[in-house]
Structure 1
Amino acid sequence: MIWWALRSKLVPETYVEIVRDMYRNSDSIVRTAVGDTTPFPITVGVHQCSVLSPYLFSVILEELSASVQKLPQPWLLMYADDIALVDGDKGRLTRRVHVWREALENGG
């Protein structure tokens, strides 16, 4: 999803590949009071504590919501990692969610 969002924003492929390299073969550990866990692979999400992560997150969220932002609706609320679609008509809201889902499944 990260690569798709970056390419959708027309980020040069060189930069997309640099970010991909940063995420390739990533693993992490959890520090606890009784010791550290064994390393485990990270295959989803953005890296914690990376200065690039807020940018990547906002690019992904913007691209995911782009198709629904084009629809006329009474309210589209976006805050942090939440998107709320509000409409006075349940049927119309359901149709909009289906259109959004189809757009995402078809690559944007």
Structure 2
Amino acid sequence: MKLWKRVVEARLRKVVESCEQQYGFMPRKSTTDAIFALRILMEKYRDGQRELHCVFVDLEKAYDRVPREELWCCMRKSGVAEKYVRVVQDMYETVGRCAVGQTEEFKVEVGLHQGSALSPFLFAMVMDQLSEEVRQESPWTMMFADDIVICSESREQVEENLERWRFALERRGMKVSRSKTEYMCVNEREGSGTVRLQGEEVKKAQEFKYLGSTVQSNG
């Protein structure tokens, strides 16, 4: 089954074109590219003595929250032929779950398969579609699977963009983690303030570990 999923993934990749902001699980892109792009942007604003506002968005149990119907819809919007949509549907419909103390299986209608070779690509494809209306050009928006960075020249704008992302994702079943999403300001001037999400203050950080690499507001 694992080999078959690799075959399906290879065929899907031939027809699905990822957005430029997606660095996760894509050919010729890696964590190094995403980290480098963010560091270059930060350095540019440090050199120019200008503020850069960044929000590192965390999604709660991202793979577990993807609605299956949304997955099929995103596949079709991405140009996947119906026969391959049905192939992936069959992979999911042949798997059921049993509640504790019961033997009868029930149908699961949400979540990607954990540990599946196909799931990372499917998730990246879903994120491309769900964020189509709200993402900006790279590096102002960068995605690596469920790690999202939103950048702007003003606190007000990055706050507005964060709310737009929250709305776009949460109306489709995803959920932005209020406790793990963090805000950072490069070259902060006195009184720059904080960022809020639905009235709740986002944690402000002087440094953040992005894709395993620590980035700092002061360089």
> Conserved in 2, the CA contact under 8 Å of 1:26 and 1:43?
no
Matched residue SS, 2:149: strand
> Conserved in 2, the CA contact under 8 Å of 1:77 and 1:85?
yes
- Greater CA drift, 12-21 or 83-92: 83-92
Aligned pairs for 1:57-96 (under 5 A) are 57-69=123-135, 71=136, 75-96=140-161
Aligned pairs for 1:1-108 (under 5 A) are 1-24=70-93, 26-28=95-97, 41-69=107-135, 71=136, 75-100=140-165, 101=167
Distance 1:49 1:74, change over 3 A: closer
Counterpart of 1:12 in structure 2: which amino acid? A
Q: How many Å separate the matches in 2 of 1:102 and 1:45?
A: 18
Q: How many Å separate the matches in 2 of 1:73 and 1:51?
A: 27
> Conserved in 2, the CA contact under 8 Å of 1:64 and 1:104?
no
> Conserved in 2, the CA contact under 8 Å of 1:25 and 1:41?
no
> Conserved in 2, the CA contact under 8 Å of 1:28 and 1:40?
yes
Give 1:102 deviation, angstroms: 5.6
TM-align CA RMSD:
3.4
Give 1:94 deviation, angstroms: 3.6
Aligned to 1:32: none
Q: How many Å separate the matches in 1 of 2:79 and 2:139?
A: 30
Matched residue SS, 2:75: helix
> Conserved in 2, the CA contact under 8 Å of 1:78 and 1:84?
yes
Provide TM-score, normalisation by structure 1: 0.63
Give 1:52 deviation, angstroms: 1.9
Which structure has more helix as a fraction of its residues? 1
Aligned-residue sequence identity (percent) comes to: 33
Question: How many positions carry a matched residue from both structures?
Answer: 99
Once the two structures are superposed, what CA deviation does each residue of 1:55-103 show, in whole Å capped at 9, x if it has no partner? Answer: 211211222222233x358722322312121223233234334555369
Distance 1:73 1:61, change over 3 A: closer
Runs of 5+ unmatched residues, structure 2: 1-69, 172-219
Matched residue SS, 2:133: helix
Give 1:20 deviation, angstroms: 1.6
Runs of 5+ unmatched residues, structure 1: 30-35
Aligned to 2:205: none
